[in-house]
Structure 1
Amino acid sequence: MSNDIVEINRAYYNKSYSAKTVLFGLIHSWISFDQQSKSRKNFEEIQPLIEACTHKPVYYLDYGFGHGSLLLKMPAGVAIYGCDIADEAVRNLNNIAGVLKRNIKVTTVENFDAFVNGVSFNIISCSHVLEHVEDDAALVGIFKKHLHKDGKLVINLPVNEVWNDPKHARKYTPQSATDLLGSHGFVVEKMLQCDRLTAFFLHHEQVKPVAKPFKIMLRAIRLFFAVMPGFFSTMADKWLPAKYEFQQLILVARLHE
């Protein structure tokens, strides 16, 4: 089953990223609610860590970068690295970085060890990846190996899942996530839950699908929240009923001294 999960994810994401032109890739990363809803929240946590880091340049790794929406948010003064399971994701990001003249180094999971050999990262992020992998504990161990002793690990996980995604190997709670990190010597410094909007969308798209005219309306709402400032998503978290539970669990952790 676990090997099946790996191959299901590899096939799905290679298909998702295939045949993307540079322009299409850029536009998608900007207007996709799924991309922006996560990368925006992740960057809100990562940006102050970058600013607080005394080591320059700041060595940063995004493990599972996907369309690259988070990597492309990184400011000057950051040495940017990325890793992904999909060959197509690496190809797309290399093309985008070339056009934008951004120095972003990316590789596949298979080449990761050689790629980061000798690099100690000040910040490692991993957003909505651990639930897809065969062994989440082993991956956290890899992060520990490559994180600077004073570095920070930023993890984003799905919680309170609205539907059973066949690409997910397991589910998480705040406690299970804390225990997972703690078992590898990490101390959680900050934990937050957010994103009722995703629950709202998935409820009306997957659980109780709406009629076609309303699907068009949902897509328009998705686009609005993708391109507008994060303030609007934050307000939606406050305004939407509690039955639409938070879908993102973000943890910022450091190694135990």
Structure 2
Amino acid sequence: MKHNWTSIIYDIYTYVYWEPQTIDCLRKGNKKYNNESEMIEALHKREVVFNHICNVFLTSLNTDQITHFFNRIVDGKKYMEDFYRIYVRDLSDVVAFDNVSNPTQPDIFLIGDNNTISIELKIGAKSDQQQILKYAFLHSQEYKKSGIKKNHNLILLGKGGRSNFWKEKYDSVIDLKIKCINDIDQLQTKYLPYKDDIIKMMHELDIHYISYNDWYHYLQEYAIGIGDKKIQKNYNDFMKEIKIRNLL
């Protein structure tokens, strides 16, 4: 689904359709929460809720603002200004899935004319090399569908230092990539016909880590210089969402 702020609302309902257990977060066992405040507090702990908030926020940004965000993350590499389209659940228009049913769904997937960028968000759970390999699969199949050579980047957002993102404590991207490639045969069977594509993309994929604390301060720094009060409020509201989840 190509995302604007209205389509994200439909995406939320689609998620609940496929993941009805999500409704459990509105209950304490078989008992409903005592009030709305308790329910909202529970939603603050749900990673998927924060994912949707991030999608709404990114959709509200213009090209300059999105480019600024990526340029601050990618270790000094500069992105050409690009027009990004944001996708989350339905990637069939932009990714060649062939016969792979129920492929991994990215938290955020942005496709531009020159760049393809996926974002993996973690609040409490840890990620692992299998998840990274599935992102490499998505990127390889986006290239297969478009036939356009682009820069491929995976951005990991987590709390604290880089090593806290993983079940295994990786200190460098090189260590992570080596482990991923060595473990590729442990992927689900449905991905193995694409093994060569995945390995090739693992070599091309630039992987970047940023903490929520750093992201918060990037946003804060940028928001101060925005003259438009409405846009500035969007930034401040989103920064509040990071803060109330104790992600700093």
TM-score, scaled relative to structure 1: 0.35
